Amino acid sequence: MSAVLGSERPQVVSHVQQALSYTVFDCKWVPRSARLMCLGSAARGTGVIQLYELRGARLEVLREIEKPKPIKCGTFGATSLQQRYLATGDFDGNLNIWNLEAPEIPVYSVKGHKEIINSIDGVGGLGIGEGAPEIVTGSRDGTVKVWDPRQNDTPVANMEPVQGESKRDCWTVAFGNAYNQEERVVCAGYDNGDIKLFDLKTMSLRWETNIKNGVCSVEFDRKDINMNKLVATSLEGKFHVFDMRTQHPAKGFASVSEKAQKSTIWQVRHLPQNRDIFMTSGGSGSLHLWKYEYPAQRSKKDSEGSEMGVAGSLSLLQNVTLSTQPISSLDWSADKKGLCVCGAFDQTVRVLIVTKLNKI
Amino acid sequence: MPLWLREHSWRQTLTAVYLSLPLRGARATAANIFCSEQYLKVSVPPFLFEAVLYAPIDDTNSTAKIGNGNIFFTLYKKEPAMWDSLTLANADKEKLQHLRENAVLKAQEKAKEETKAKKITKQEHKKYALMATMKVEEAERKRIEDLKEKEREKVTKELELWKNQQKDGDKYKSIQTKEELHQEIESLKERKNEKMNKTRIPNEGSSKTRLKSTRGHGSCSIFSQDLKEEQLPAPRAAATIKVNFTPRVFPTALRESRVAEEEEWLYKQAEARRIINSDLSELEDLKEEEKNPDWLKDKGNKMFAMGDYLGAVNAYNLAVRLNNKLPVLYLNRAACHLKLRNLHKAIEDSSKALELLTPPVPDNENARVKAHVRRGTAFCQLELYTEGLQDYEAALKIDPKNKIIEKDAEKIRQLIQGAMQSS
């Protein structure tokens, strides 16, 4: 923690810490509540879903569900507020959607991939945005697949390697640009440093680039607006912020990059209440809170007259080290500003509160 | 010889003796005065004043005032008694010396004790300072902890408040929805009654119209549902996008810091493969053992021993093609070339061998000596005696005890001198 508490910088206060008996891979707030989900892998090789409620200074276990395969990731992004079904991806490549009131049988289940599903994202639910609810999964088998819960067995979009090409692991996926019913974009990051942007309306590759280090996490600042900013974090402690408003035909999107830590940056998450603030979590167990400042002019013309984006600048608001192990998952609460949960590989889940975010 | 100062004057009280000593122009400092319990000495070169006192005094409290060409002593007596005289009258030399020595010793001891005492006080002061700083730091830390605690409490309270709000909100919402449901059910009931009335009256109506009316009203209840579903577009038409990846040989993730290492590894692999594959077509005819550079080297050595120099050269050539990093092959080939009088080739091969033997360590001394000698011989046979001598001297440097090399080096030197003389 920073020693200078008297200043106006946001402080990261550790509210609750809970030791778990399994490895936690993902933790998510249940929308519209003070409850959170932890997903992971127990020592005996089975998957665990735990539902906690924040009560006073403690986390109380409400439910504990065991599944045959370890679970790697989950999202509430594609369900309605009334249903609040959890979509999970597991180590075997299965995508399941669970009703937490009746978790024995999944509401939707498909063996989407041949290998572990590394990352999952959902859009169209929770009253955010418009369009069909969809779930995208990225897997070690090199494919990215988009699923509609109303359609069984086959994905509605499949981004797979060309025949004969050797595959690269897809490590992260994110939805974006879902500002009306037709538009939608999927961004995928791979272990060889590739970032690819797929446009689902035209079913084509809209942009790709390589950031020279394996991409651990990508996120748009908001899923349901015209795509504004994309943050991609990678190995070797670097992350890039792309300005997605202006695409140059040859140079793509403008970006600013920062080398924050010596170790891998595992996750990036934008504050739901302020899209210019985001938190990155690192392999050394530290969290960095960043603010992006827009440049005076977001786009300019280059020598041939085509529009080129201008990237802004980043400032570090706060940084705190919570653990000695990587913090692999992070989630802000959409209901209370500054409340977030993070799960680390030291088998603990921590609820943190970031103060003074109103003053930024 | 010091000048004795005799013109002192003194007076006494019961407890103290006041001694006044004129200095006659000389300047005195505290270092010139030496005082112990019973002995007083003032030595300002060239003057000397010495007094063995009548009775012991308290030398720590006594004072000496230096000024006005005068030293004024205030000596406090240990025992309050009147002295007959300032000094002991019948003091003989030995006694005096004894006393002097004692005095000096005593003074030394006192000095030692003083230094010890000083040390102890110093240590105590240090400890005290340390404790003080520790306290201050503790206080600071505590202050920060308190601030943090306060923040935490504040934030926890806010959270609780928010949670309660949530719960109330939920309750309120659930009550509302219940009410709404109630209303809906009632309105549905009404509509049903209406429908029934309407359908009952035109009983003779055609089936179509009845159906129409029922359908019209029946769809009222599912109308709301349809609306909701229509708000969600149909699932997307399935499609595939083909993806190309930035090529990468290694299955591991790309890291910038490892790129250099990876490049080097790939380069080495490529080279090795090239060497193996380049002569593949020709080498297919050879037997397995003939592809082994070591076996070929042995074969070459045997042929050299037997005098088949051309055959040896061939064997070495093939070995070099397979593995061009073995210095011994070049060395031996140089020897063959020497015998064949291919002097330039001999020089080339010895040079290549020396290159490969670059880290000059004791292990490859022999090889380097051989290389130098062979190259030297080749130079001499080409009549480049100076270069030859250089190589021989290099060989001698590595192995100074070798008589043959020494003799040959001498010969070359003489040859050079002879050549210089004649030219």
**A152 neighbors A107 (Cβ within 8 angstroms):** no
CATH number of the CATH domain containing A327: 2.130.10.10
- Token digits for B95? 């006694």
Percent of chain B surpassing pLDDT 90:
13
Residue of B nearest to A152 (CA): B235
- Does residue A176 lie within any of the structural domains? yes
A40-72 pLDDT tens trace: 999 999 999 999 998 878 899 999 999 999 999
What are the pLDDT digits (tens) for B277-315?
766 656 666 666 677 788 888 889 999 999 899 999 988
**Token code pair at residue A100:** 């937490």
> What's residue B282's pLDDT?
62
Tokens of A342: 């993070």
* Pairwise CB contact (< 8 Å): B235 & A151: yes
Q: Is position A158 within any domain? A: yes
In this structure, the strands spanning A170-176 and A238-248 are unpaired
pLDDT at B253 over 80: yes
pLDDT tens digits along A138-153:
999 999 999 999 988 8
E strands within B94-253? 239-243
For A31, B14, B89, B109, B287, the CA distances from B54, given in Å and listed in that order, are: 105, 14, 8, 23, 121
Question: What predicted TM-score, i.e. pTM, was given to this entire model?
Answer: 0.64
Query: For residue A336, what is the nearest residue in chain B, using CA coordinates?
Result: B162
pLDDT for position A241: 95
Nearest to B244 among A54, A158, A162 (CB): A162
Mean pLDDT over each residue of chain A, to the nearest integer: 91
- pLDDT higher than threshold 90 for residue A122: yes
Tell me, yes or no, if B144 comes closer than 8 A to chain A by beta carbon.
Answer: yes
pLDDT at B128 over 60: yes
A contact residues 184-203, partner B, Cβ 8 Å cutoff: 190-194, 196, 198, 200, 203
Domain that holds residue A126: 68-295+307-355
Two tokens at A322?
A: 């919570």
**Model confidence over B380-399: pLDDT tens digits?**
888 888 888 888 888 888 88
What number is the ipTM of this complex? 0.83
Q: What are phi and psi of B74, to 5 degrees?
A: -115, 105
Q: Do B241 and A204 touch (CB under 8 A)?
A: yes
Dist. CA A90–CA A92, nearest whole Å: 5
Q: How far apart are CA B40 and CA B57, in angstroms?
A: 10
Averaged pLDDT of chain B: 80
Distances (CA, A) of B361 to A262, B319, B374, B385: 41, 25, 20, 28
Residue B312 amino acid letter: A
Q: Which residues of chain A does B234 touch, with a Cβ-Cβ cutoff of 8 Å?
A: 132
Per-residue pLDDT, B206: 41
Per-residue buried b or exposed e for A179-188, using 16+ beta carbons within 10 Å of the residue's own CB = beeebbbbbb
Work out the average pLDDT over B221-249: 72
Say yes or no: A156 contacts chain B, CB-CB below 8 A: yes
Residue among A133, A148, A147, A125 nearest A32 (CA): A125
User: What confidence tier does A193 reach under pLDDT thresholds 50, 70, 90?
Assistant: very high
Residue B229 sits at the chain A interface (C-beta within 8 Å): no
Determine contact: B31 vs chain A, CB below 8 A. Answer: no
Closest Cα in chain B, distance from residue A296 (Å): 32
CB-based contact, B240 to chain A, within 8 Å:
yes
Residue A301 lies in a domain: no
- B131-172 pLDDT per residue, tens: 999 999 999 999 988 888 888 888 888 888 887 887 777 677
Residue A34 resides in a domain: no
| pLDDT tens per residue, range B194-233 | 666 654 544 444 444 444 444 444 444 444 444 444 467 8
b/e per residue B123-159 (b: at least 16 CB within 10 A): eeeeeeeeeeeeeeeeeeeeebeeebeebbeebbeeb
Inter-chain touch B239–A235, beta carbons under 8 Å: no
Q: Which helix (H) or strand (E) holds A216?
A: strand A215-220
Q: How many domains does chain A have?
A: 1
Residues of A in contact with B240 (CB under 8 A): 157-160
Residue A74 lies in a domain: yes
Q: Is A204 within the bounds of a domain?
A: yes
Residue A272 within any structural domain of the chain: yes
Q: Provide the pLDDT for residue B126.
A: 96
Chain A hits for B243, CB-CB cut-off 8 Å, are 142, 159-162, 165, 196, 205
In sequence order, what E strands does A30-123 have? 35-41, 47-55, 58-67, 71-75, 86-90, 94-98, 108-111, 117-123
Chain B within 8 Å of A152 (Cβ-Cβ)? no
Residues of A in contact with B170 (CB under 8 A): 32
Residue that wins the pLDDT comparison between B318 and A237: A237
* pLDDT number for residue B221: 44
In a domain, A276, yes or no: yes
